[in-house]
Structure 1
Amino acid sequence: MSEKKDARIIRTKKNIQEAAVILMTTQPNFSITTLLDKAQTTRGTFYKYYQNKPHLIDDVNDNLLLELTQHIQGQFHVVKMIRAISDRAAFYNAVLNLNTNTSYFNTLMTRMRSQVTLQLAGVTDDYEKRKLMFQWEVVIGGFWALIAAWLADNMDINQTILLQEFTDILRVNTTGATQTGLSLFDFSEVV
């Protein structure tokens, strides 16, 4: 019986969170009433799990960050990131092009920089570490700019071509990128 209750709780919270993602994308200043209508749930149920709207948004952001940051463990997996962003294209378009959720993107960048710092922990030369970090920042800035343009253009090219454009822009030789910040990225296509 408690397994059913747990599954029901999980499903209810997921419905509330998915409704919140849609509203954060389309109506960033949504009301709790609008959310409840969209999630098809009651006010009492909402307040059973969330203290208020900011608490819900923080929880949603954390879940979305977990969804995305799994692809930056070790190296930044470019193809996996593109796919994950594509799965939530409307949300990321709103974040990147409409600035509807700046706290999400700021937190994402902080987590990404933390991951890079871990990757660079073995580099003992401070100059080399700064150089690699600077190169990473340039590449990641280019990545997000390209993603923002791709989303603004309604993803008019497929993901494989997008990856190729990204590597062309960077003039990436993905087999010889061991001495630069590009070594922090995985450009390989995942089958």
Structure 2
Amino acid sequence: MSGKTDLRVLRTRQSIRMAFYELIKEKGYEAITIQDIADRAMINRNTFYLHHQNKPDLLDTCTDELLSELKNVIVLCPFNMSPFQISTLETVMQTVLEHISQNTTFYYAMLIEENRIYRFRAKMENIIKDKLNEGWDLAQGSSPFAISKELLLEYLVSSFMGIVVWWIKNDLPLPTGEVASQFSRIVAYGHLRAAGIAVGE
């Protein structure tokens, strides 16, 4: 009996979250009410409050769980900047995109246009930055950078997130491996050279 009860609880939580994601995508976080979520999830308000204190609590729970999953899969990616290998950055990017592709509704709701949740993006950027920084921490004995490491990290993370947002916004137009490969080549060779454009002095 307890197993059946647990399964019902899990299904209810999933229904609440999917309703929440869909509503954020449709009307934005601020406009959503608890009644909206309950109606979409086909539960009553009392059932909602058995699982979450309020709307911010639901948002925090969804954010923490998905980003925790993202962090756990990224941790498994080897990443070293000494020497830099295109394949290592490609693996990190592809891992992120594959995780997003399994949770597209959530990431669309969190990251796209006027409905986006800014603190979610900031937390996601920190996860990516920590991973990229990890590669340099492992390369501490290498020669010093010719430019600011902090500036370079900001550039890479901003570019990384820009590609992610473009990919989600355009309904995942390219396979994860292709996006990851092209992004990694842009980072390694510069955008003009990666595009095959000749550059004069």
Equivalent residues in 2 for 1:2-151, closer than 5 Å: 2-28=2-28, 29-73=31-75, 74=77, 75=79, 77-99=92-114, 100-116=116-132, 121-122=137-138, 124=140, 128=144, 132=149, 134-151=151-168
Shift of 1:54: 0.6
Q: Which has the higher contact order (CA 8 A, sep 6+)?
A: 1
Asked if the contact 1:61–1:104 (Cα under 8 Å) also holds between the matched residues in 2, the reply is yes
Query: Is the deviation greater in 90-99 or in 32-41?
Result: 90-99
Alpha carbons of structure 1 residues 7 and 154: separation in structure 2 relative to 1, 3 Å: closer
CA contact (8 A) 1:85 1:92 kept: yes
> Structure 1's 90 and 16: CA in aligned 2 closer, same or farther, altered over 3 A?
closer
TM-superposed CA distance for 1:113, in Å, is 3.6
Alignment partners' CA distance in 2, 1:4 and 1:39: 19
Deviation at 1:18, TM superposition (A): 1.8
Partner of residue 178, structure 1: none
Q: Give the deviation of 1:58 after TM superposition.
A: 0.7
For 2:134 and 2:188, locate their aligned partners in 1 and report how far apart those are by CA, in whole Å.
26
CA RMSD of aligned residues (A): 2.9
What corresponds to 2:194 in structure 1? none
**Residues 66-89 of structure 1, C-alpha deviation per residue, up to 9 Å, x if partnerless?**
232223215472111111222333
Q: Partners in 1 of 2:136 and 2:164 — Cα distance?
A: 25
Which amino acid in structure 1 is aligned with residue 26 of structure 2? T
Alpha-carbon spacing, 1:160–1:118, altered in 2? closer, same or farther (3 Å) = closer
Unaligned runs of 5+ in 1: 173-191
TM-score of the superposed pair, with normalisation by structure 1: 0.74
Give the total of aligned pairs.
Answer: 172
Q: Which runs of 5 or more residues in structure 2 are unaligned?
A: 80-88, 190-201
Q: Which runs of 4+ in 1 moved over 6 A?
A: none
Alignment CA distance shift 1:44-1:93 (3 Å): closer
For residues 112 and 155 of structure 1, do their structure 2 counterparts lie closer, same or farther at Cα, with a shift above 3 Å needed? closer
TM superposition shift of 1:39: 0.9
CA contact (8 A) 1:20 1:60 kept: no
Supply the distance in 2 between the matched residues of 1:153 and 1:105 (Cα, whole angstroms): 18
| CA deviation profile, 1:149-174 (whole Å, cap 9, x unmatched) | 223333323323322321232236xx
Asked if 1:155 corresponds to 2:172, the answer is yes
For 1:163, give the aligned amino acid: A
Show CA shifts across 1:90-117 (max 9, x none): 4434433315211111122233444555
The structure with the larger Rg is 2
Relative to structure 2, which stretch is displaced further, 140-149 or 54-63?
140-149
Identity %: 23
